[in-house]
Chain A
Amino acid sequence: MQTEPTIIGFLCNWCSYAAADLAGNSKLEVPGNLTTIRVMCSSRVDPVFILNAYFQGADGVLVAGCHPGDCHYQTGNYYARRRLALLIKILQTFDIEPKRLRLSWISASEGQRFSEITQEFAKFIKEAGPNPLKKKPFFE
């Protein structure tokens, strides 16, 4: 049984979340299996949120924030980049599928970019197959 993958998107309120809105209003295509979670800044995303999503069976996680230099709180996304780089490094070291995690910068006016990035990511995740942690009750 091949179900649609689950993709979680942590979207910054000031840019990527607005871009998602814009994409919707402009009738651009956005994957139906993307569940969005609005955060006030990309730096609000504790790597543990991503681990939670991943260990609970999410197939892909997207974190999207304002372009470097454009963070509503000046520098939040620079800190977010360090944190996510750290998480990716840890996942790489233990070989726990870092490819399922994606960090992108999408501004409020980039509805088109939002649509492209999410579709491309959804396609990639589908090809990557289901998260191996899905049916592993002991791996929590």
Chain B
Amino acid sequence: MKGKIIEIKSDLNTAIKNIIKTLVQKKLFDAVFVPVRIPSRESFAYLLIKDKEILESITPLPPTMPVQGARALKDLTRLGKLNLRILCIMRPCEIRAAVELAKLRQITLQNLTFFSFDCPGVFPTAEYIKSPEKYDQNIIEKIKAWQEDGLRPNCSICVNFSHYNTPADLHIGFYRNHLLIYPVSKNSQKILDILSYRAEDDLTEWENSINTLLKKKKENRSRKFSLLSNQTKGIENLEEFFTGCINCHNCMRVCPICYCRQCFFESPEQSHHEAEEYLARAKEKGGIRFPPERMVFHLGRMNHMALSCVGCGSCEDGCPMDVPVGQIFSFIGNEVQKMFDYLPGKNLEEPIPLLTFKEDELHEYEDTREKK
């Protein structure tokens, strides 16, 4: 594996910023889409930046993720292709969600270039805004040590945090006070040329360090998944798992994949019924809880989007009740994605399993009783 190794003289954010500035100065890009610390200093937002001065203040590596990048990008390209060439600097799960949204025709990728980086994870937003200074310092430590405590739970079980399975144009790795530029797409050659870099340095050491970490994270993940599997077996346990849920639908609203302008679970046909109908249901069930359809919402949402769930944990980050909703979606996402050997957002050419089929498949789900 070859790339370009650069020594970091200041800090990481500045090192990445310098690269971006050069690319904009040399007119390879018209604008940059990247997180910036908001002036009150307590949080971060994606900005579409044209102004070179504002470029000075970017934070390509923010310690938290208040808005999932793909969700932000969707607003930008909602009405179709851009005439500007935009450079987007995003985390691997954000890029995968963007590709998934492109498959769902909610994002147009034309004229967008993606830089990904080795993601150390993010801190829960609610925790971060309580003491930003502490976490600003911590994120640098995290990157150095790759520790997992205090991160978003989804981040500590994330196995696609580096260049593997991330369809960026160019990936930026970190290894011992060095930045590594790893060209991924054909597009990236032009970028290296402009920076006068040649991809000739040996990246093996970095790759080995990523593989070691990957192994650890895979173990964490399967441990967590078997725990979740036990915790949610049977409807009573599943109900207990969601016990704090107040049915606010925030998890759906912040999820990058749930793009529907009118969520089915908030549509009149699903959720506005005459009182008589509720009475009839109450008779059948002994009584019904209000607001109704809480479990149907979660299980239904899984049916709608778990095949595309990138496991980013934004849903959990946005949940006011600390329901481990991101973990359970990651878990069920993994189960159903395995059925179709599908990894969301990995490859633009690969169709979402519900939008394609094979004629000869899944017979075990047909006439299930007849065969026994």
B287, chain A: closest CB distance, angstroms: 4
What is the chain B residue whose CB lies nearest that of A124? Answer: B369
Asked whether B303 lies within 8 Å of A90 as measured between CB atoms, the reply is yes
Task: Please tell me the size bucket of the interface on B.
Answer: 35 or more
Among the stretches A16-24, A30-38, A51-59, the one at the interface with B is: A51-59
- Residues of A near B281 (CB, < 8 A) are 56-57
Q: What residues on B are CB-neighbors of A69 within 8 Å? A: 359
Given A47-B300, A56-B285, A78-B359, the answer on whether A85 and B365 have CB atoms closer than 8 Å is yes
Say if the beta carbon of B335 comes within 8 Å of chain A.
Answer: yes
Whether B239 contacts A134 by the Cβ 8 Å rule is no
Is A137 within 8 A of B285, CB to CB? yes
Contact call B339/A139, Cβ cutoff below 8 A: no
| CB of B261 to closest CB in A, whole Å | 17
Grouping DSSP codes into helix (H, G, I), strand (E, B) and loop, the B interface class, with mixed when no group exceeds half, is helix
Question: Which residue of B286, B302, B307, B367 is within 8 Å of A136 (Cβ)?
Answer: B286
Report the count of interface residues on A (CB-CB < 8 A): 45
Q: From the candidates A57, A105, A140, name the one contacting B292 in the complex (CB within 8 A).
A: A140
Q: Mark A75-91, 1 if CB is under 8 A from B, else 0.
A: 10011011111111110
CA A132 to CA B237, docked complex, whole Å: 14
Q: Nearest Cβ in chain A — how far from B331, in angstroms?
A: 8
Report the nearest B residue to A80, measured CB to CB.
B357
Contact A121:B369 (CB < 8 A) given known A90-B336, A140-B295: yes
Chain A's closest residue to B338 (CB) is A89
- In the complex, which residues of chain A have a beta carbon less than 8 angstroms from the beta carbon of B293? 52, 55, 140
Pick the interface stretch among B37-45, B144-152, B190-198, B228-236: B228-236
Contact A104–B229 (Cβ < 8 Å): no
CB closest chain-B residue, reference A75? B357
What is the chain A residue whose CB lies nearest that of B366?
A103
Are the CB atoms of B357 and A90 closer together than 8 Å? no
Contact A135 B369 (CB under 8 A): no
Give the CA-CA distance A101 to B82 in the complex, in Å.
Answer: 46
Residue from B238, B285, B303 within 8 A of A134 (CB atoms)? B285
A27 CB → nearest B CB, Å:
24
Known: A83-B354, A90-B335, A137-B285. 7 other contacts (CB 8 A): A82-B353, A84-B365, A87-B303, A89-B339, A93-B232, A93-B332, A95-B233
18 A-B residue pairings within 8 Å (CB atoms)? A46-B264, A47-B303, A52-B270, A56-B281, A57-B284, A78-B357, A81-B362, A82-B362, A85-B362, A86-B307, A86-B353, A90-B306, A90-B336, A94-B299, A103-B367, A124-B369, A133-B285, A140-B292
What 9 A-B pairs are tightest by C-beta distance, nearest first?
A137-B287, A78-B357, A47-B303, A48-B300, A57-B284, A85-B365, A135-B286, A85-B362, A95-B233
